[in-house]
Chain A
């Protein structure tokens, strides 16, 4: 009965998967420690005083430093989403313009 499992796997794969198996995997650059550091710098440069943002920024930095890059990035991205939502909502948020401190990539 276990022979059904590979069959199921094959059925679940689309036809272009064969191309994927022939080529070496392509690295994504948005999950690196370097990107994590750049994102943290960009958030810090906006000098937010919002407690949630500060908390997420600190957590994200710490996790990235400890090698948990994806977890750290998730926190930093949440902090950025809060900042941008606040900005789009018209609330006065001190700090430099985002264009002055560009996002990575």
Chain B
């Protein structure tokens, strides 16, 4: 078993090339030299058939006369005949004696003959006649043999040439394959060594290897992004949780050393518990996002009407907005059906409204709207707040991402991450954009798109129903 794939490919290529070329050469030989053989045999058979007919018509004298005529008119000087009687004596023909090797009718024999002092080759066949007579009919095939030899020599040289070309081709294929694999192998080794930056180089020809390199590079980009995300999340967890834990510790320590009464001590403990509750809430949010991303909740999908749901949310957050001096308007049809998780969608829209209220200046307006667009539902929350700089919008939904303007507002940086996870769970997306670039009151528009699915049918069954 060959353990080198490149060598296997090379051998396979060489073998296929040699086999196909050999088949071509054999066919060419059959179509040239083979045709010559068959032509001679056909001429001998036709000649013999005519002579046998003459025998049937006029007996020995007619056959002898025909043989004589044939020999006399044989301008090509290649005819060979012999008629012998029951005792083996020559009756007619141009052979001095009956060849000893020709013993039975049916097969073709090749003989050496002497013609005008020069040796030659002849192909003959015996035909048995009544009365013990035997007829030998043949042709001088020296010219044909020479031609066949020439053809065979040429074809054999061709075979050698083909073998050389197959070997050279196999060598080139092997080198090409090794070069391609070496590039991928070197990249993989570098990544295995801890360096995620190398990428497989593309030749620019757009061939299969280029497409494979592109796929590998896309995969590596994805892995690098995920690794980066994990690193960022780890850092963010360490950073964001250290502050409340440290604060809780400091309060407890301060209370233990300086509390003058039981009431002060109890108050310090309650504040520390509140800080630790915040930490727990962050962990719960992280776990919830992870659960949503795992898709486990998809099995709990049911028919949801977003019309009343959004109206309830508008009513709930409308009061909160009013307290902050904001106006929350609603533009939603009575019915917006989809197949999904009601609680998660409610949580996602609530997060968007919470952000809008949190970042809108007093007197600002917030607009909650929803509508159906083909197979999707589009829920928009637009505000007149500072918005998110374009450079940050791509990362705004990452876990723990906090923009510059959000540094001084309460929050964990997990709200939009959860919204995005809910959107992905419903085969949708979260898009953050400027409300209107030309308007006086610029703000942020968060667009949550959710796939409607097929109401009343679980997603798996719905997918099966749509399949052709």
Q: Which A residues contact B (CB, under 8 angstroms)?
A: 1, 4-5, 7-9, 11-14, 16-17, 19-32, 39, 42, 69-70, 73-74, 77-78, 80-81, 84, 102-105
Contacts and interface: CB of A to CB of B under 8 A. Distances in A.
Contacts of B72: 39, 42, 77, 80, 103-104
A105 B68 contact: yes
Interface string B105-116: 001111111111
Q: Which 5 A-B pairs have the closest CB atoms?
A: A30-B94, A31-B116, A25-B112, A19-B101, A103-B68
A30 B71 contact: yes
B69 to A, nearest CB: 6
Contacts of A17: 110
B73 A26 contact: no
Given A70-B77, A105-B92, 20 more contacts: A5-B153, A9-B149, A16-B108, A17-B110, A19-B111, A20-B101, A20-B112, A28-B113, A29-B96, A30-B71, A30-B79, A31-B77, A31-B116, A42-B72, A70-B115, A73-B77, A77-B74, A103-B69, A103-B71, A104-B68
B68 A8 contact: no
A99 to B, nearest CB: 8
A19 B114 contact: no
Contacts of B65: 103
A31 B160 contact: no
B73 A23 contact: no
Interface string B93-124: 11111011100000111111111100101000
Contacts of B148: 12
B60 interface: no
A29 B462 CA distance: 97
Nearest to A76: B72
B116 A11 contact: no
A23 B112 contact: yes
Nearest to A24: B112
A79 B100 CA distance: 36
Contacts of A73: 77
B6 to A, nearest CB: 30
A4 B114 contact: no
Contacts of A7: 156
Interface in B77-95: 77, 79-80, 92-95
Nearest to B149: A12
B113 A25 contact: yes
Contact of A26 (B92, B99, B145): B99
Contacts of B435: none
Interface in B15-37: 33
B100 A23 contact: yes
Contacts of B114: 25-28
B348 to A, nearest CB: 81
How many chain B residues sit at the interface, stated as a range, is 35 or more
Nearest to A105: B68
A9 B149 CA distance: 6
Given A16-B108, A103-B69, A26 B96 contact: yes
A67 to B, nearest CB: 10
Contacts of A32: 116
B1 to A, nearest CB: 33
A12 B68 CA distance: 33
Contacts of A5: 153
Contact of A27 (B67, B92, B96, B160): B96
B152 interface: yes
A20 B111 contact: yes
A20 B443 CA distance: 107
Given A32-B116, A42-B72, A8 B153 contact: yes
A16 B107 CA distance: 10
10 contacts: A12-B148, A25-B112, A25-B119, A26-B113, A28-B94, A29-B95, A31-B115, A70-B116, A84-B69, A105-B92
Given A23-B100, A73-B77, A105 B94 contact: yes
B113 A105 contact: no
B320 to A, nearest CB: 97
B156 A4 contact: yes
B50 interface: no
Contacts of B121: 20
Contacts of B99: 23, 26
Contacts of A20: 101, 109-112, 121
From A11, A30, A39, A73, residue with most partner B Cβ within 10 Å: A30
From B96, B149, B152, residue with most partner A Cβ within 10 Å: B152
A24 B111 CA distance: 9
B283 interface: no
A64 B101 CA distance: 33
Contacts of A24: 112
Given A21-B112, A25-B114, A25-B119, A105 B93 contact: yes
B67 A26 contact: no
Contacts of A11: 152, 156
A28 B115 contact: yes
Contacts of A105: 67-68, 71, 92-94
Contacts of A13: 110
